Amino acid sequence: MTDQKAPTRRRVFDLVGESRTTRGGIERQTVLLAAEPGEPIALVRDPENPYDKNAELACLGEHDLGFIGREDATVIARALDAGLSYQARIHEITGGVGEARHYGVRISIAWIGQSLPAFRPRDERQERSREKKAAALDRSRDPNGSFEAAERQGCSLLLLGILAIASLVIAGDQLLARSTTSDVQALESAGVTVNIR
């Protein structure tokens, strides 16, 4: 295109679909947990999209973060189809704290003659929440949703219980071996069943 100009003056766009799964099968929320504002992204047309023939995915490396909203997709699709040059990056990652537990993402696009606006880094609350979520991701969950570490602890307690019972059984056997008939009769009269081998 020889006479290129920006298709829109708007430079920051909200994405949609951030709570869904990427085409590679990874939760987009997990990708956004690791993403950083300011990282470059690519816009990828998705003309076979069953919901919108003008759909564009915003991709961070091989992971799609979400789609540009339908209201902006038509203008951007025409510009991409025409080969218009652009730069794009993650402008801001929203949410992830309090009532807004899920992440949202806004991207910035600069076309010919435009510069990218300054991106917005995560705030302190988002960073603290992000660290906790990342730590939780490092721990695997069982099918019931419990952390494996807790499951391992439960197994350890069960094993300790089994060992304690086995010790009692062995001690009981040794006690019975030394017991007299009167000891056995005293135990049985107290309601304890005694099996002598």
In angstroms and rounded to an integer, the radius of gyration of the C-alpha atoms of the chain is 31
pLDDT digits (tens, 9 = 90+) for 40-85: 999 999 999 999 999 999 999 999 999 999 999 999 999 999 999 9
C-alpha dist (Å) from residue 132 to 144, 167, 183:
20, 41, 59
Q: Are 19 and 116 in contact (CB under 8 A)?
A: no
pLDDT, residue 135, reads 82
Q: HEC profile for 29-77?
A: HHHHHHCCCCCECEEEECCCCCCCCCCEEEEECCEEEEEECHHHHHHHH
| 12-137: CATH architecture | 2-Layer Sandwich (3.30)
Query: What pLDDT does residue 131 have?
Result: 86
Give this prediction's pTM.
0.67
pLDDT at 101: 83
Nearest by Cα to 76 from 99, 42, 104, 25? 42
Confidence of residue 156 (pLDDT cuts 50, 70, 90): very low
Report residue 10's pLDDT band, with 50, 70 and 90 as the boundaries: confident
Q: What is the pLDDT of residues 100-132, one digit of tens each?
A: 888 999 999 999 888 999 999 999 998 888 888
d(C-alpha 98, C-alpha 132), whole Å: 13
Q: How far is CA 44 from CA 64, 74, 195, in A?
A: 9, 13, 77
pLDDT at 152: 42
pLDDT class of 175 with cuts at 50, 70, 90: low
Q: pLDDT over 90 for what percent of the chain? A: 46
Report the alpha-carbon distance of residue 94 to residue 122 in Å, rounded: 8
Residue 176 has pLDDT above 60, yes or no: no
The CA distances from residue 35 to 6, 9, 58, 133, in Å, are: 27, 26, 13, 13
Do residues 104 and 93 make contact, with C-beta atoms less than 8 angstroms apart? yes
